[in-house]
Amino acid sequence: MKINSFKKILIPLFLVTFCLNGNTQTLRNVENTAFINGEKLTFNVYYYSAITGKVNAGEAKLEVKNKSVSKNGRETYHVVGTGQSKGAFNFFFKVDDKFETFIDEDALIPWYFTRRTREGGYKKDDEVTFHQSKGLAVSRNAVKKIPENTQDILSVFYYARTLDVTGVKPNEYFPLSFFLDDSLYVSKIVFLGRQQIKTELGTINCLKFKPMVLKGEVFNEPYPMELWITDDLNRLPVMIKSAVIVGSVRIELISYEGLKNPFSSRVTPGHGNGKPSKK
């Protein structure tokens, strides 16, 4: 075996051993009033441009599996997120994504994350094991030191739903960070105020936010996205609007089941499908 091959094996092994023998980080305890096992959310994805007009581009789903899973001796929520393009949009930009995470039920941090991304000609597969108590993330290609309570791209959404917004004022923000593609991204979500919006599920009282995202090939400004979540204990994402390089995207909640709390923010019903909360 060549020396370079030994390096690829021994260096990550050394880093893992060194870091795991380091100082232990304290895990937090988060009160989760927003979701439970069995919650399922389904979204329609629409694409808009001057050339295409409004196109029903695909469907996305978020599901918290019915049963908890033990990871590192702790109970976790097993969450699966999928997204697929459909119809004529497949000829324009085919998408077939799947993300999975196992979120600690007490600390709301991930222990294990996987992704399978297929977007146009872009492909990405990865898995990350989080050694949260030792401040370490191990992916297929790297070993990285991470701060306390680091999230992945999926678990950060569920943690954000538990944030206490009591007394928050417009333009105040919450700092958020997540680990993706072997890098730690520090972001924030800015509160814009309360707003009543009409959706396929009906008229809903919402909290409006503007998440900060990174510049890149898709987004061309720091705050191109707007997010509406229900103004109740569920904190459901009911609509997301985002500008992209060409056109814009709207993601809208069309069905739900297994909510932890009553859907009390809905003022009038619509045409979407919903099942009662677990209570």
What's the pLDDT score for residue 274? 73
Q: How many domains does the chain have?
A: 1
Domain assignment of residue 214, yes or no = yes
Calpha distance 267→196 (Å, rounded): 9
Domain assignment of residue 240, yes or no = yes
**Confidence label for 212 from pLDDT (cuts 50, 70 and 90):** confident
**DSSP, residue by residue, 126-183:** EEEEEEGGGTEEE-SS-EEE--TT-EETTHHHHHHTT---TT--TT-EEEEEEEETTE
Residue ranges making up the domain that contains 129: 3-274
Calpha distance 175→279 (Å, rounded): 32
Calpha distance 237→4 (Å, rounded): 47
Domain assignment of residue 95, yes or no = yes
The model's pLDDT over 9-34, given as tens digits with 9 standing for 90+, comes to: 444 444 544 444 555 667 899 999 99
What's the pLDDT score for residue 127? 97
Calpha distance 191→168 (Å, rounded): 8
Domain assignment of residue 26, yes or no = yes
The pTM assigned to this predicted structure is: 0.85
Q: Which residue has the higher pLDDT, 131 or 5?
A: 131
What's the pLDDT score for residue 1? 46
What's the pLDDT score for residue 3? 45
DSSP 23: P
Domain assignment of residue 215, yes or no = yes
Distances (CA, A) of 109 to 25, 58, 219: 13, 29, 27
Domain assignment of residue 130, yes or no = yes
Domain assignment of residue 279, yes or no = no
Calpha distance 274→170 (Å, rounded): 30
**Confidence label for 4 from pLDDT (cuts 50, 70 and 90):** very low
Q: Percent of the chain having pLDDT more than 70?
A: 85
Calpha distance 218→195 (Å, rounded): 27
Domain assignment of residue 89, yes or no = yes
Compute the mean pLDDT over every residue in the chain, rounded to the nearest whole number.
87
What's the pLDDT score for residue 213? 64
